[in-house]
Amino acid sequence: MQLGSISKMISSTHEAPSRNGFTVPVSLQIGTRVICTTTLLDSEATPCFMDVLFGHTHSIPKVVKTKPIPIEIIDRQPLLSCAIIEETIPLELIMGSHRETITFDLDSSPRHPVILGLS
């Protein structure tokens, strides 16, 4: 996601800031089905993530990544025991009047079901 387009969409509907971002309401569209949730706009994350249990609960189709992505800790060092191996199919994300197609890496993130990386 582009930081400029995101900052224009943040309105008075956002919640209090989190450590690295804001949470805002979004909708995910899969065909004719729409799932309403909140997303963390994370200024320190690069990819977009979805909680694997959230994806399973909402029957969001997933695929195996062609190349596993290592998970990095705060100093950008990879966690040797972990890698992201699955991703969603491309989903339509709707935030206000903005729409865009995004593929989410699937990981465990029970506090925020959807995270949009902005860096």
Sequence spans of domains, the chain? 3-117
Using the predicted structure, report yes or no on whether residue 31 has a pLDDT greater than 80: yes
Residue range 3-117, CATH number: 2.40.70
pLDDT band (50, 70, 90) for residue 30: very high
Please give the residue that has the higher pLDDT: either 20 or 55: 55
Nearby residues of 101 by Cβ (< 8 Å), 6 or more positions away: 90, 91, 92, 93
Using the predicted structure, report yes or no on whether residue 8 has a pLDDT greater than 70: no
pTM: 0.76
pLDDT band (50, 70, 90) for residue 46: confident
Using the predicted structure, report yes or no on whether residue 34 has a pLDDT greater than 60: yes
The DSSP output letter for 77 is P
- Which pLDDT score, from 0 to 100, does residue 83 have? 82
Using the predicted structure, report yes or no on whether residue 95 has a pLDDT greater than 80: yes
Please give the residue that has the higher pLDDT: either 19 or 108: 108
CA distances from 75 to 51, 71, 72, 79, 112 (A): 23, 11, 8, 11, 22
Using the predicted structure, report yes or no on whether residue 71 has a pLDDT greater than 90: no
